[in-house]
Amino acid sequence: RVFLVADNNTYGVAGRDIEHILTSAGCAIKKLVYYRKGELVPDERAIGEFLTSYERDTDVIVTVGSGVLCDISKYMSFMLDTPLIMVATAPSMDGYASVVSAFILKDTKISLKSLPPKVIIADTDIIREAPMDMIWAGLGDMLGKYSSLRDWKLANIVVQEYYCDVVRKMVELSLDRCVENVELFAKRDEKAIGYLMEGLILVGIAMSFVGNSRPA
């Protein structure tokens, strides 16, 4: 019993195909497709739509999308104690595997505890066709690790904050791969986009290892 979550953009990109695959495999599908004229906002309305569409006997949530859909689904997976499979549609942010979700509640942006997905699927044939602005956003997110890692080291020196060289090296390796292939992003090169997506996921894992957002 699958609860399939998408929006009016991501359903057309991959959600419809995934629904067909799951139905053909004998899965019972209940779906929520968020329809918005503008951008989907992670607010009370979005949470309400999720809850009113969700059924208690659901075995797994399968979400097709990126930032906002990922944040909503990670939080609802945590609150409803239902495992989440995330199918990424864009290499746009580093929150896929993180343990927090960003929401706008009562007109205030806050972070809420959540759980990372059990599975993250990132098909390069899909994510490299994402809007170019979303690819640049993900690359910018990775480049920001230059300053975040140094901020983290400074916090260790000045106030003896916990610091882990293994985690630092993990993030730096991912960052180096992106920088070495930076000229290929404009061409939507599969290898470069793959390195970017891998890096964005690993940074989320790094945050979960440390227990805060310092590596990011």
Question: Structure tokens of 69?
Answer: 């859909």
Contact assessment for residue 60 and residue 3, using Cβ atoms and an 8 Å cutoff: yes
Collect all residues with Cβ–Cβ distance below 8 Å to 52 and sequence separation of at least 6.
Answer: none
pLDDT digits (tens, 9 = 90+) for 193-208: 999 999 999 999 999 8
Instruction: Reduce the DSSP state of residue 77 to 3 states and report it.
Output: helix
Instruction: Please give the model's pTM, rounded to 2 decimal places.
Output: 0.93
Cα–Cα distance, 126 to 170 (Å, whole number): 25
pLDDT digits (tens, 9 = 90+) for 66-95: 999 999 999 999 999 999 999 999 999 999
Mean pLDDT of the chain: 96
pLDDT digits (tens, 9 = 90+) for 80-138: 999 999 999 999 999 999 989 999 999 999 999 998 999 999 999 999 999 999 999 99
